[in-house]
């Protein structure tokens, strides 16, 4: 079983320009609790996140990887395990099928974990997360953190 999670606004606080420095990477405590609960329930967890700041050259991939390693360690401290990270560096005007709302990252994760889309949840805070889940055939969950309350309205 697999759960796919968006990152910014779902797991960590978002910023209009994106999270560009590791010291600005604030993880929601409730997200760590949820990751731990999913882990204890036997789910694999994969993060699927658009990161156009990498494609724009304002976020080094090494910094992004350090953020993800920090997140993996924080999740482990709370009893959770993040199995994989997928990111799309595409800028919006040159998006590939990997950038949400495209389903590419989700399909990659489904294949890697041999997961059935109809049994897999995608959790996000934006319409594009929900659209990507729909395109991949996954179940959809909208959280109210990040842009979730605005998206719901």
Catalytic residue at 8? Answer: yes
From the candidates 8, 90, 125, 129, which is the catalytic residue?
A: 8
Catalytic residue at 14? Answer: no
Map tokens 């009893």 to a residue: 79
Nearest to 124 by CA among 136, 108, 113, 111: 136
How far is the C-alpha of 42 from the C-alpha of 120, rounded, in Å? 13
Nearest to 94 by CA among 55, 44, 144: 55
Output the CA–CA distances (angstroms, integers) from residue 19 to 14, 81, 95, 142, 152, in the order listed: 7, 22, 20, 21, 23
**What end-to-end distance do the CA atoms of the chain give, in Å?**
30
| Spatial contact of 82 and 59, defined as CB atoms under 8 Å apart | no
Paired strand residues for 142: 124
Active site residues: 6, 8
């Amino acid at each position: 079983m697999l759960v796919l999670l968006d990152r910014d606004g779902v797991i960590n606080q978002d910023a209009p320009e994106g999270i560009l420095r590791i010291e600005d990477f604030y993880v929601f405590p409730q997200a760590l609790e949820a990751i731990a609960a999913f882990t204890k329930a036997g789910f694999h967890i994969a993060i699927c996140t658009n990161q156009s700041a990498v494609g724009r050259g304002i976020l080094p991939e090494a910094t992004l990887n350090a953020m993800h390693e920090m997140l993996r360690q924080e999740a482990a401290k709370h009893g959770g395990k993040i199995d994989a990270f997928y990111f799309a560096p595409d800028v919006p005007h040159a998006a590939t099928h990997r950038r949400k709302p495209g389903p590419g990252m989700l399909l990659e994760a489904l294949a890697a974990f041999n997961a059935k889309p109809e049994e897999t949840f995608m959790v996000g805070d934006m319409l594009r997360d929900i659209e990507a889940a729909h395109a991949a055939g996954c179940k959809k969950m909208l959280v109210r953190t990040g842009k979730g309350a605005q998206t719901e309205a």
